[in-house]
Structure 1
Amino acid sequence: VTESRGILESIQRFSLLPTYLPVTYRIHNADVSFFLKEANQDIMRNSSLQSRVESFLIYKSKTPPVLNASYGPFSIEQVVPQDLMLSSNPFGSTNKFSFNWKLKAYIMSTKIYLSKPRVQVLFYIVGRDWDEYSPSERLPCLRVFAFRETREVRGSCRLGGDLGLCVAQLELLPSWFNPPTVVAGRKKQMDKSEGSPVELYYSIQAGDERGECTKEDVRKSNGIRSGRNDIDESGPPLQRIGSVFLYQTYAAPSLAEMRLDNNIVIQYAPKTVKQGDILTFLVSVAKNSTEDQFTLRAKVKRGVNVFSVRASSPYLWDIRESVDYTGKYAPAVVVCQRKSAASENSADGPSSEIMQIDFEIEDLPDPPETQLITWQVEYPGDTTSDLAISKIYVSQKELVGVLPLAM
């Protein structure tokens, strides 16, 4: 009896455990994949000898992954459908397996000024094998939308090349740079220093038979719309890129300071310049300076010209450019004589600006990357300051940003 009771108890305890189909799953052709276990999984979910459910994640794969299920000596395989791994495939027009591909957008500059009303957005693909690029591969087109209140501007570009990238440009209307109207419910106008926001969106569209982006019709020339109601709702959904901010004028740049001695200070905007640009240097005198006369020398080399010398405080200082030095690359020699000390201390800061010197970057066939301006101050009695050097970096290309294309 005891043995029988023990057997019955063991059978009852065994029967409380759910039965399951002892199938082993494996994933092939995937670089990175995981089998998942649900935190709140019902223990009775797989309590059947007829079926079994397992969750898995394909994180990275260059080719379509294959799911293998084995039970004892029996085995079966099936390719995982791509539509189960992606909610949507934006690269459906290509014949490559694009599971790893991710489309990224980068706004070249978020501050747009009226003098250059152009928005540029760089699109690129990450997760793509560059060595598998084929010239016959057709990547999709991208259409970019800019919205400003009830107005809209469009632009487009087509992904291409071994890096799979393109740049879409949008020309904004001059009226967009006017102050925004008061939004209902807002108590005050937006601060001008914040700029007027413009929202950017994009959509993905397949190209035509030749792989080119579809052209706008005549009625919609220049890509300008009267409002969002003109958008084709049947087209692909819009994806938000981000915002740019419109300004009517440039903000005053921060200035770098270089002291020649205890009396004279040179200020300039540290930036990379292009050929043909004008770079302005501000010359100031310390308020506690007791010097009433000095000569400022600025020596330049081939590629930089002294463009002009302008007095900033003609009622306080007499500024005269010496005519003893002539020639295209002659140095700037400026004789400065104090007229009066009246009202000089009324200016803000520890020094007072007395003149501005403009230098022009000459257009040379093979310009050097760095230009030098040598400064020195000479006082009566042959007293001079130490030499000081300003470096000007010259480049025909402006570095906007660094993007991690290989990811």
Structure 2
Amino acid sequence: MDTLRIAMRDASLVYSMLLLTSFWKESECRGGGDTQPRFSSSLPTYFPVSCQLQGADSSFFLREAGQEVMRNGSLQTRTEPFFLHQPEAGAVPLPSVNCSYGNLTAEAPVPLELLQGSPRLLGSSPTHITLNWKVRAHVVSRRVGSARPLVQVLFYLAGRRWDEAAPLPEQLPCVRVIAVREPSEASPSASCRLNEVGGGVGICVARLELPAGWFTPSPGRKRLPDTALTGVELYYSVQPLEGESEECPGIKEQWRGQSGAVGDMRSAGPVGLVVGPARPRGERLRLDDNVEILVPPSPIRLGQMVGFGISMSSVSSLEQFTLRALFKQGVNFVSVKPSNVASAWEIKQETLPGSPSLSVFCQRKASSTGERLEGSFYEVMQVEFEMDNIINLQSTQTIQWQIEYPSTGTQAEAVSHLYISQRDIQGIVPLAEDTEIVNTAILTGRRVAVPVKVVTVEWDGTVREVDDTVGCTSTDEDVVKVSPGCDTVLVNGKEMRGRQSLMVNFTYLYLSTQLELTVWVPRLPLQMDVSDTELSQVKGWRVPIFSNKRPTRDSEDDEDDERKGKGCTLQYQYALVRVLTHFVAEPAAPGGELVYMLGMDWQADITDLVLDYLKVEDPRIARLLEGRVLMGKDLGITTIQVHT
């Protein structure tokens, strides 16, 4: 149970709110049948109309600090700002505002032009709500080599419901990306146009070729290692289509910056440059403190031969060991090649033709005892295998390695993975329906989920959705979680923190990447706003008591009640109740101040989300009508709380 902090008239916060009712002596009963609420407020008189936003899955009316009196100080007009986060799914009419007062009601649709994002993402005559649509960028590979000096950036629409009707192809915009190394030099650029592929997600891949001169050191400098090459920064902007053309606007000249300014372009992040191929290095697999295995990098082609480097620690005093390799159908043993550096070892192999296992016996030569080599490890031998050249070969092959020391009888083992692919996959990209999550599950207990899918990007720009098993983990489950099938990121109410730029890790085969999310949470404690905390009796006003007892003929009790005047009760004032909060997130950099989703001046009215949990501590003193109206009943003091 949480007791809400209440905003009193002086805007100070306290842990509970006192509701006071005053007693006025009056014996006459008036206006017996009138049940219309009479509101009490410390604010000027205003039109107490009740409004709701229809056609939205996630939306909030707002209160701006210091503007309540300015906007609503009249009985003729009422102003209600609101925030539309997510329209209803499917083909539904435009969101509308429905307002009622007593038995009067009115409804009007929200004009479509107010529901369009800025800048406008669709072409002329849009028929979609693009208010929260965003173009997101994902660099396919953060390392680019001089052998293939090409940067690929995947762009996609976020914030649009995947189950709603797709925009017309001619309405989708283009995206331009530039690579900046030095602000004073010309920067290459490329563009692509979003299109509907991959299950209704508007995506495209821009392929940007870098100048060859960017992969060589500047004149007069010594040759630097690959990691010391000057990297580049990528920026992008959304471009509307020109006229009736279905092609992206032509790039007339290379972009030139001034003093590092890139105008209103958004950053897509850095890219590192290396000399030669940007192929990933092989994995080092440790069997134990003595032996490690250098696994060849993936992907591996059908029919390709690969070698595993077996290395020994230079400080090891081992005299002999036996290495075994167990493999499955599709992997064929080829040979064992002793290393030239490891002439101190005698190596013998044992295998049977067609056998899925290999044994290698290694004995240190007597003449080499006591020799030590420089470096932490030195290579003893290369074990070579060849992949079968059959189409239906499993995409993941494993080799189990075992090492045994005859002198002690101890063993150790490890498993290496080889990933087979005929396609030239450059990377994987996770696509989320939206990259911002408003965690209302903390308030309602109902989870909020965002669909996610993973696609591969090939060298030629082809995009394919991944149908196989994908791995995923959240870097902070106190902020957001992922489903077991990695097809959803979600919050279920157990999280208590929000964060900007939170990363969710995704892996597929030998590839890995991250999805960047922002999660907003309601700031606790919540704030309750009551139009008046002192509910007095309306002087000269009483209302009849409607009893549930069935009347009896000639009842003496009824005559006694009428004589004592107990058929009427005091009429107390009403007050409007609102529960407010800010939606906040921790900044990406640790130690910074909280970030407000709508700014510090705007609070979201979350009363509808907590209606079922709003309670009056003593219902004899006051009670809630439909969760939003507080009605005084008797003399006393009580509190309003939220029970969760």
TM over 0.5: yes
2:202 is the counterpart of 1:164? yes
- Indicate the residue corresponding to 1:78 in structure 2: 108
> Counterparts of 1:186-335 in structure 2 under 5 Å?
193=227, 196-207=230-241, 212-214=246-248, 216=250, 225=254, 227-228=256-257, 237-248=264-275, 254-259=283-288, 265-269=291-295, 272-275=298-301, 279-285=306-312, 287-289=315-317, 291=319, 303-306=330-333, 309-314=336-341, 316-317=343-344
Given that 2:180 and 2:232 are in contact with CA atoms closer than 8 Å, whether structure 1 keeps it comes out as: yes
| CA separation of 1:154 and 1:101: change in aligned 2, threshold 3 A | same
Q: Is the 8 A contact 1:95 1:137 kept in 2?
A: no
Structure 2 Cα separation of the partners of residues 31 and 307 of structure 1:
61
Matched, 1:395 2:420: yes
Letter in 2 for 1:243: P
Q: Deviations over 1:89-131 (max 9, x none)?
A: 3234553233343332222222323333322222222343434
Query: What are the Cα deviations for residues 6-47 of structure 1, in whole angstroms up to 9, with x where unaligned?
Result: xxxxxxxx9x96333444433222222222222323635432
Provide the residue aligned with 1:20 in structure 2.
46
Structure 2 runs not aligned, ≥5 long = 1-39, 434-449, 452-644
Letter in 1 for 2:156: Y
State the AA in 2 paired with 1:125. Answer: L
Assess, with a 3 A threshold, how the Cα gap between structure 1 residues 343 and 244 changes in structure 2: closer, same or farther: farther
> Residues 285-323 of structure 1: CA distance to partner in whole angstroms, max 9, x if unpaired?
45444537x776657665435566554344743667879
Matched, 1:67 2:97: yes
Letter in structure 2 aligned against 1:152: S
1:368 aligns with 2:402: no
Q: Give per-residue Cα distances to partners, 1:217-249, cap 9 Å, x unaligned.
A: 7x76xxxx37348xxx9xx95232222222336
The root-mean-square deviation of aligned C-alpha atoms, in Å, is 4.6
* Higher RCO (CA-CA < 8 Å; seq separation 6+): 2
Distance 1:19 1:283 in 2: 85
Aligned-residue offset at 1:267: 0.9
Alpha carbons of structure 1 residues 354 and 73: separation in structure 2 relative to 1, 3 Å:
closer
> In 2 relative to 1, CA 312–215 (structure 1 residues): closer, same or farther, beyond 3 Å?
farther
Match of 1:344 in 2: 371
Matches of 1:101 and 1:309 in 2, distance apart?
Answer: 57
Q: Please give the secondary structure, in 2, of the residue aligned with 1:43.
A: helix
Are the aligned partners of 2:95 and 2:110 in contact in 1 as well (CA < 8 Å)?
yes
Instruction: Tell me, yes or no, if the aligned pair for 1:119 and 1:170 is still in contact at 8 Å.
Output: yes
Q: Which of 414, 417, 432 matches 1:404?
A: 432
Counterpart of 2:430 in structure 1: which amino acid?
Answer: V
1:152 aligns with 2:187: yes
Tell me the secondary structure at the aligned position of residue 180 of structure 2.
strand
Q: Matches of 2:168 and 2:79 in 1, distance apart?
A: 41
CA positional deviation for 1:177: 2.6
Which residue identity is paired with 1:147? V
Which among 53, 58, 65 is matched to residue 79 of structure 2? 53
Change (3 A) 1:320 1:158: same
C-alpha offsets along residues 65-90 of structure 1, whole Å, 9 cap, x if unaligned? 22344566665443323444544332
Instruction: Give the match's secondary structure for 1:125.
Output: strand
Structure 1 residue 136 displacement after superposition: 4.5
Q: Which residue of 2 aligns with 1:110?
A: 142
State the distance in 2 between where 1:329 and 1:209 align: 65
2:119 is aligned with 1:88: yes
What SS does structure 2 have at the residue aligned with 1:402? strand
Determine the C-alpha separation between the residues in 2 that align with 1:172 and 1:148.
Answer: 10
Counterpart Cα distance in 2 of 1:123 and 1:239: 12
Aligned residue type for 1:90 = L
SS at 2:368's partner residue? coil
Q: Distance in 2 between matches of 1:44 and 1:380?
A: 88
Q: Which deviates further from its counterpart, 366-375 or 334-343?
A: 334-343
Which AA in structure 1 matches 2:131?
F
Shift, 1:145, TM fit: 1.7
Distance, in Å, in 2 between the alignment partners of 1:216 and 1:309 is 57
Alpha-carbon distance in structure 2 between the residues aligned to 1:332 and 1:212: 63
Matched, 1:101 2:133: yes
Q: 1:319 to 1:310 in 2, by over 3 A?
A: farther
- For 2:213, the equivalent position in structure 1 comes to 175
Instruction: Give how far 1:134 is off.
Output: 5.0
Q: Which is strand-richer, 1 or 2?
A: 2
- Length, aligned pairs only: 371
CA contact 1:60–1:99 (8 Å) conserved in 2: no
Contact kept in structure 1, 2:336 and 2:349, CA below 8 Å: no
Partner of 1:6: none
1:194 Cα offset (Å): 6.8
Point out the more displaced range, 331-340 or 29-38: 331-340
Q: Distance in 1 between matches of 2:70 and 2:168?
A: 52
- Tell me if structure 1 keeps the 8 A contact 2:226–2:273: no
CA contact (8 A) 1:308 1:357 kept: yes
Cα distance in 1 between the residues matched to 2:64 and 2:87: 23
Matched-pair contact (CA < 8 Å) for 1:130–1:163 = yes
Matching residue's letter, 1:128: R
How far is 1:336 from its partner? 6.5
Seen in structure 2, the aligned counterparts of structure 1 residues 310 and 153 have a Cα distance that, compared at 3 Å, is farther
Secondary structure in structure 2 of the residue aligned to 1:368: coil
Structure 2 vs 1, CA of residues 333 and 40 (structure 1 numbering), >3 Å: closer, same or farther? Answer: same
2:71 matched to 1:40? Answer: no
One-letter amino acid of the counterpart of residue 67, structure 1: V
**Using a 3 Å threshold, how does the CA distance of structure 1 residues 77 and 133 change in structure 2: closer, same or farther?**
closer
Cα distance in structure 1, aligned partners of 2:381 and 2:355: 22
Percent identity over paired residues: 34
TM-score of the superposed pair, with normalisation by structure 2: 0.47
Q: Measured at CA, do residues 308 and 274 of structure 1 come closer, stay the same or move farther in structure 2, by a change above 3 Å?
A: same
CA distance in 2: counterparts of 1:325 and 1:400, whole angstroms: 40
Shift in CA distance, 373/33, structure 1 to aligned 2, threshold 3 Å: closer
Residue identity in the other structure for 1:214: C
Change (3 A) 1:177 1:134: same
Contact 2:324 2:357 in 1 (8 A): no
